[in-house]
A and B are shown apart, each in its own frame.
Chain A
Amino acid sequence: VNKQKALKIIFAVWIILWIFFLAREDKDGQYSTLRYLYTHDSEEKTRYVMGGELYDFLISCRENMPAGSTYELSGFQEFSIDEVRARYFLWPLKSVSEKGEFEINYNEKKISLKKGANR
C-alpha cells in the first residue's frame, strides 16, 4: 500500500510539473510571440523572430550584393545566434573567412566592397 501511495504521489508530481512547464509564460514570452506569429505573414514572422534591427540590415545587405557574391562578417560575437542567422538568411550569398568580395559590419551597420574585389 505504501508503494502504491508513493507511485501515486510521483505520478501527481509529474502531472503538476508537466502542466506547469507546458502552459507557463516562459522567459521568451511564449504567448505574445505566438499571438504575433499567428497574426502576421511569413516575412513579418521571420522579421519578428530575428529581430527587426538585424532583419532590416540583412535585407539592405542582400539588396546591395549581386548574386553569387561572397562576404566577410564582422561585428558579431563569434558563432552567436545573430551571426548564424545572418549566414542562413543571406544564403546563397556565401560567408567566407577571408578574401570575401564584401565586408559586412553589423556594429556599424555598414556593407562595403572590399579593396581589390572585382565587382
Chain B
Amino acid sequence: MNFAFSLILVEVTGALLILLTFAGARRRFSAPEFLSLSFFAGAALAAYQLLSYYLLGINFDPRNIFFAPFILFLLFLAYYGLGSGRGSLGKFMSEAGYHQRWSLTERLLAAGIAVQLLWILFLVVPMPVYSHDAVANYALKAKIFHLAGGMPEGFFTWSETTVAHPDYPLLLPFLMTWIYAFSEFNDLAINIIMAAIYLAFLALFYSQLKKFFTRAYSLLIVFFLATIPQLADYATVIHADLLLTALVTCAFAYFLLYTRDLERNYLALSAILFGFSLWTKNEAVVFTGAFVMAFIALFFRIEPAGRKRVVIDMIILSAIIFIIAGPWLAVKAINNLTNSDIDFSLLTPQRLLQNIKDIPIFLNLFQQEMFGPKKWNIFWIIFFAAAIWKRKVLWKKESFYITLFIFLAAAGYFAAYMCTTGNNLYFYVNTTISRFMLHFSGVALLLLAYLMRDEVYDMKSFKERT
C-alpha cells in the first residue's frame, strides 16, 4: 500500500512540475502524454532533489523529501488557484473531441499490448531483486542510500569491491531511494517501477506517434515496440537501460516534431528529456551529442529566413540541457569520476590496434544479435531490410534526421568500443551489445515507421489517415 502511495507521489510530483513548467505555454497535452511525462519528470525530480540534499548535507528523511512535492503544491495553488493561471488548468489538456470508434485491428493491437504488459506484471510481482546489475549496482546503491539516510561519506571513492561503478549516473538508484523513503525498504515490490517505466514509455511514444501517423498505425508501431523480447525483458529487471531507451527515443521524437514547424514547446520537451537521460546512463552523452549534430544539420537544411530562430532555439536548448544535467556533471567533475572501462591514459597505439584487429569479433556478435529471434524477434532483420529497400528515402525529409541521429550515435558507440582499455574487446561486446542495441531500438522503430508508412497505409485495416 505504501509502495503504491510512493509511486503515485512520484506521478503527482511530476504532474505538478509539468503544470508549472508549461504554465502559460500555449500547449495542450493528451492524457497519455501528460501522465507519462509526469512520471518521467517525477523520477528526474527525485534524482535532482536527492543529489541537492547530498550537496547540502540534508538527510534523506521522508519529511525532508516530502518538502519538494509540498513546495510544488503550494506553487501550483498560488498560480492556478490565486495567480494569473486561475481558470486556465482546463486549457492545459486536449479537449475531448469527436472520438472515432476503434476498429477491430486497433482493438486487437491494444489487446496485444495489454497482454504483454500484464505478462510483465505477472513476472515482476513475486520476484525479489535478483539480476546481476541490479544487485551489483542500482539496487545496492538504493539500499545503501536508504539505510544510511543519505549518501555515505566518500561514496564516490569506494572501490568496485564495495559497489559497482560509483561513477554511474544515479537517477534510477535515487528514484528507488525516494520510493523507499515513503514505503520502507522493500526489494520485492520495487521491481514494479520497471513495469511503470515500460508503461510510461509506451504511452508517451504512442502519444507522439499519433502526431505523425494514424491511430491504427501508431498502435501497430507501439505493439512492435512493446513486444520486442529484449525490451520486455528489461522491464522485469532493475537496469537503467530501459529508462535510457525511453528517454532518448521520446526526446528525439519531440525533436522530430520540432523540425516540422519549429514549435519551441517540442524543443523544450526534447531538451528536458535529453537532460534527464544524462542522469540515467553515461551512454546518454553519445545520444545528446548526436542530437546536437542533428540540430546543427537542421540549421543548414531550413530556409535562410528561419535560421535566426534556430540559432536562438539552439541557445535555449543548450541552456535547458545544461541546467538539468549540470549538477550531476559538476559532481562527476568535482569527484573526478572516470569510467573504469575507457581510460584514455591507458589507450596506447598497441591497444587501439588490437581493438581494431578484433573488429571481426564485434561483427560476429552483432550478426548473432541481429538474426537471433530470442531477444529481438525479427526486428533488426525487418529494420535493415527496410533500410536497404528504402535506401533512396533514408536521407529525405524527416527520415534524414532519424538516419543521421542513428548513424552518429552508432558511430559514437563503435568509437567507444575501439577505445576500451580495461578488458579485451570480446568481453565488452559480449556483455554489452544486446543492451546497447536496446538503446537504439526505439529510434530505429521510428525510422522504420517512416519508411514503411505508405505500404502499410495501403492495407485495408490501416487506410484511414490523420
Contacts and interface: CB of A to CB of B under 8 A. Distances in A.
The answer to whether A and B belong to the same complex is: yes
Interface of A: 3-4, 7-8, 10, 13-14, 17-18, 21-22, 34, 37-38, 42, 45-46, 49-50, 73, 79, 81, 84-85, 87-88, 91-92, 94-97
Given A45-B128, A97-B161, A14 B377 contact: yes
A40 to B, nearest CB: 9
Contacts of B227: 14, 18, 22
A97 B119 contact: no
11 contacts: A4-B455, A10-B378, A18-B377, A22-B116, A22-B232, A34-B123, A42-B188, A84-B136, A95-B162, A96-B159, A97-B162
- 3 smallest A-B Cβ distances: which pairs? A37-B126, A84-B136, A88-B135
B54 interface: no
A4 B461 CA distance: 11
Interface in B347-380: 373-374, 377-378
Contacts of A21: 229, 373-374, 377
Given A18-B227, A84-B164, A94-B162, A79 B136 contact: yes
Contact of B458 (A4, A50, A94): A4
B188 A45 contact: yes
A17 B456 contact: no
Contacts of A18: 227, 229, 377
Interface residues of B, number: 39
Contact of B136 (A14, A88, A96): A88
A84 B122 CA distance: 26
Nearest to B144: A91
A87 B136 contact: yes
Contacts of B377: 14, 17-18, 21
B31 interface: no
Interface in B213-239: 224, 227, 229, 232
A66 B152 CA distance: 19
B136 A4 contact: no
A4 B229 contact: no
Contacts of B140: 84, 87-88, 91
A74 B116 CA distance: 41
Interface in B134-152: 135-136, 139-140, 143-144, 147-148
B136 A91 contact: no
A9 B130 CA distance: 38
Nearest to B162: A95
B127 A49 contact: yes
Contacts of B143: 88, 91
Given A3-B458, A14-B378, A17-B378, 9 more contacts: A7-B459, A18-B229, A21-B374, A22-B116, A45-B128, A88-B135, A92-B144, A96-B159, A97-B161
